[in-house]
Amino acid sequence: MSHSFVVHVPDAELEPEPLAPEQIVSGTPEVTGKVVWESADGRQIRGVWQITPGVVTDTEADELFVVISGSATVEVEGGPTLRVGPGDMAVLRAGDRTTWTVHETLRKAYAINLG
């Protein structure tokens, strides 16, 4: 996308982004998302992401996100436990190994920087 734009995050239409089975610790969480902008070199990504309740693991990229709705507890291996909800901004570092316990369906707007 080459022009400035706006996305109304609370009701943005999202597409399924299936989790790898080994990421699911408990429950039946479902992930949806939408990339709204990507740099020409693919190293910067902006988008919207949502996950339903459950517990999942992940290895993070360099990410800043703002929670729009829902709540979760994000445990960073060897680091802090982050409790996030509407209006919270969080930063995850590339390589962080995390466990997400999603209490209420969580929707976030994110900015990821790769490499």
Kindly report, residue by residue over 59-100, the tens digit of the pLDDT: 999 999 999 999 999 999 999 999 999 999 999 999 999 999
* Residue 26 scores a pLDDT above 80: yes
Q: What is the mean pLDDT of residues 29-37?
A: 97
Kindly report, residue by residue over 102-111, the tens digit of the pLDDT: 999 999 999 9
The per-residue pLDDT for 3 is: 85
Q: What is the pTM of this model?
A: 0.94
In terms of C-beta density within 10 A (0-12 exposed, 13-18 middle, 19 or more buried), how is residue 86 classed? middle
